[in-house]
Amino acid sequence: MSYRFEAGRIYRMPTHFGPAPGPRQLPDDVVVDPKRSPRRLSVAASFLTDPVVLEQHLPEGFTLAGEPVVTVEFHHMTDIDWLAGRGYTMIWVGWPATFTGSRDRATGKFLAVVWENLADPILTGREELGFAKIYAEMPPPVVIGNSYAGVATWQGFRFFEMGAADLADTSALPEPDGSFHYKFVPRTGALGEADVAYLEYAPPDRLATGYGGLKVTRRMLGQGSFKFHRARWEDVPFQYPIINALADLPTLETRGASVTTLAATGAIGNPSAGRLAEIV
């Protein structure tokens, strides 16, 4: 007898083996520890760029919100329950934008691209959340005294590096931003057409993990820098247009850096909080 989909359960290809475990659907016998999972170390740096160039990378309906400041965040996650205690590293690239549609209007961070060094969060994030996630090799950040550094490579080609130094503790915390994501899935057998193409918005109080929040245990501000190194097709055949577009953004002024340590709050959230809202 052939299988049927169970109502209310999450599936991913291959679907033939039943509902898929992941961050929004843990096995029934797994007991999570919200006081331990997850933990995160985040290194971020920003710069002011040319608004005309930056707007070329915004989907229809978007305008820049405020100054054209690009922020790159290097996150190292550990003690993740849905990965059985393992972790992974990711890079977020985004800038402030306002969407004005036929029904909705919202302002937040347009998250243009996310690199991660593990297939599992890439698959779940692309398919279930619509995040623009792709792969890179990213070791944990290197910490030497009061400085932090991170790199990203693909098959040995180093396309990104960043650092933060001259750091000092601060009690000031940034206001949380909502984030925009453009979900696109090509249509099989019809190149150039979409099966799915729409915008999503995650309000500041909606967590992508859906398993409780994170609290800041330490935050430092200082000087920082990052650089995307231009790539040839031979260097990174799949990603070189993305890397080069970011490398070509003019740096008009650096805007400092931050290093933030976060730990689990101990609260268990509702997995449905990880679902984003479609905006039109």
Q: Is the pLDDT of residue 273 over 60?
A: no
pTM for the structure as a whole: 0.93
Q: Is the pLDDT of residue 274 over 60?
A: no
Q: Which three-class secondary structure string do you get for the chain?
A: CCCCCCCCCCCCCCHHHCCCCECCECCCCCCCCCCCCCEEEEEEEEEECCHHHHHCCCCCCEEECCCCEEEEEEEEEECCHHHCCCCEEEEEEEEEEEEECCCCEEEEEEEEEEEECCHHHHHHHHHHHCCCEEECECCCCEEECCEEEEEEEECCEEEEEEEEEEEEECCCCCCCCCEEEEEEEECCCCCCCEEEEEEEEECCCCCCCCCCCEEEEEEEEEEEEEEECCCCCCCCCCCHHHHHHHHCCCCCEEEEEEEEEEEECCCCCCHHHHCCEEEC
Superfamily of domain 32-265, CATH level 4: Acetoacetate decarboxylase-like (2.40.400.10)
Predicted local distance difference test score (pLDDT) of residue 34:
74
Q: How many Å apart are CA 75 and CA 150, to the nearest integer?
A: 9
More confident residue, 106 or 214: 106
Q: How many Å apart are CA 219 and CA 233, to the nearest integer?
A: 39
Q: Is the pLDDT of residue 255 over 50?
A: yes
pLDDT tens digits for range 152-199: 999 999 999 999 999 999 998 888 888 999 999 999 999 899 999 999
As a whole number, the mean pLDDT across the chain is 91
Q: Is the pLDDT of residue 268 over 80?
A: no
Q: Is the pLDDT of residue 275 over 70?
A: no
Q: Is the pLDDT of residue 206 over 70?
A: no
pLDDT tens digits for range 207-232: 433 334 688 999 999 999 999 999 99
Residue 216 contacts residue 261 (beta carbons within 8 Å)? yes
Dihedral sign computed on CA atoms, order 169, 116, 134, 237: positive
pLDDT tier for residue 205 given thresholds of 50, 70 and 90 = low
pLDDT tier for residue 204 given thresholds of 50, 70 and 90 = confident
